[in-house]
Amino acid sequence: MTEDRRVLSFGCRLNIYESEVIKGHLPEGADTLVVNTCAVTAEAERQARQAIRRAHRENPKAEIVVTGCAAQVNPQAFADMPEVTRVVGNEEKLRAETWQAPKPAEAVAERVLVQDIMAVRETAPHLLDGYVEHTRAFVQVQTGCDHRCTFCIIPYGRGNSRSVPVNDVIAQVRRLVESGAREVVVTGVDVTSYGADLPGTPTLGQLIRRVLQAVPELSRLRLSSLDAVEMDDDLLRLVAEEPRLMPHFHLSLQAGDDLVLKRMKRRHLRHHAVELAAELRRRRPDCALGADIITGFPTETDAMFERSLALVEDCGLTYLHVFPYSEREGTPAAKMPAVDKQVRKDRAARLRARGDLARSAFLTAQLGRTATVLFEKDGLGRAPNFAGVRRLDGQRPEPGTMQTLRMVDLNDGILMGVPI
């Protein structure tokens, strides 16, 4: 959860980005708290409800407006909370008029402002002057998803896939670079599906190439989570050819067993993931790979889980996002034979431990190597492969500073470097 005095944001980077859009629309001086929810897990919804109740206790007079994916999927559940003034949908939250001249609760004629997200066909660019997080900025190029994985509720919160036109993305990147961003992260719900709904159907790789050509002042560009079967040829060529595209690729794998993947209604099989990891490493030997993996999906046996566990070595994964399976009402997976919740948690703990060992080995292998580090906040910087780096001498370069360092030590998961 990220928090400031006017917006609480739960969940993904896209939600955090959209919270910045909301902040820009809120009138100055308004006693309004916006809770931007996540629907990925039941725990995320529980945390949002808890935050709403706590906020109301701390400031009973404040208008509390709930939005985000959980509010989009189940608006009435939040409208029924006595602490909540209004519920706003995912499309409505991005409109300036939604937030103008907020009224007291008794004057609000429509407490629930949530339209059918599946009826939305376009997504507008939202230009931000100030969303530069420690010299790294996030740019939304796409939202929604056309796929229907059996465990996932997000398409019902975000709608079908909609892409931001190429020229609008370029304008946003240029604006962020002028505001001080040295690195831009391209983000979306299903970012590798970019462009299928646009005239000429540009691919994600074509978008990235045009952005880098149009904004030569941009030092680094990083990609958010990628679907293993949607990486286009243009994007793979950029992996090999473009040094400003950072060698850190996070893959949406979800499982390592073919039967589980089929029951998830994923569009790749295990061998596709292993082959893609090998191809990325062939084109960019210095790359680091991450992955999302769910443990305890319905019907997952011990043997099936072992195949997910083996993905860490077989794909050479470094950064893991591990999720014990969480039932989402209305999804097909919620009706499948369930795995015991404690088993889900135990498997998640084993997978995280395996990931920790892989990450430690990866960082140890960086010792003696050099990297150009972009410093962000409090003296912490990031290497191109996303490894955290500090200077051995304790100096804290200003945010936005880029220095070439040789890695000489590893301290609590952070590489320590000396200038060369």
Q: How crowded is residue 168: how many other Cβ atoms within 10 Å of its Cβ?
A: 16
Question: What residue type is 284 in one-letter code?
Answer: R
Listed in order, strand segments (DSSP E) in 280-369 are 288-295, 317-324
Domain-by-domain residue ranges, the chain? Answer: 2-115, 132-365, 370-419
Q: Residue 419 burial (CB < 10 Å; 0-12/13-18/19+)?
A: middle
370-419 to CATH, choices 1.25.40, 2.40.128, 1.10.1760, 2.40.50: 2.40.50
pLDDT in tens, 131-189: 545 588 888 899 889 999 999 988 888 888 989 999 999 999 999 899 889 999 999 88
Per residue in 300-350, pLDDT (tens digit) is 999 999 999 999 999 999 999 999 999 998 899 999 999 999 999 999 999
Mean pLDDT of the chain: 89
How many degrees, rounded to 5, is the angle at CA 254 between CA 335 and CA 139?
Answer: 115
Per-residue pLDDT, 374: 97
- Of 100-104, 215-219, 355-359, the range with the lowest mean pLDDT is 100-104
Beta strands across the sheet bearing 112-113? 2-3, 7-9, 32-37, 63-68, 86-88, 112-113
Would you say residue 130 has pLDDT above 50?
Answer: no
C-alpha dist (Å) from residue 377 to 15, 59, 113, 411, 419: 22, 31, 38, 18, 18
CA distance 176 to 178: 5
- Cα angle at 298 between 294 and 303, to 5 degrees? 75
**pTM (predicted TM-score):** 0.84
Instruction: Identify the CATH number of the domain defined by range 2-115.
Output: 3.40.50.12160
Q: Is the pLDDT of residue 108 over 70?
A: no
Please give the class, per CATH, of domain 132-365: alpha beta
Q: What average pLDDT score do residues 71-87 get? A: 89
Tell me the three state secondary structure of residue 354. helix
Copy the structure tokens of residue 296: 């305890």
Q: What is the DSSP letter of 79?
A: H
Residue 194, beta-bridge partner list: none
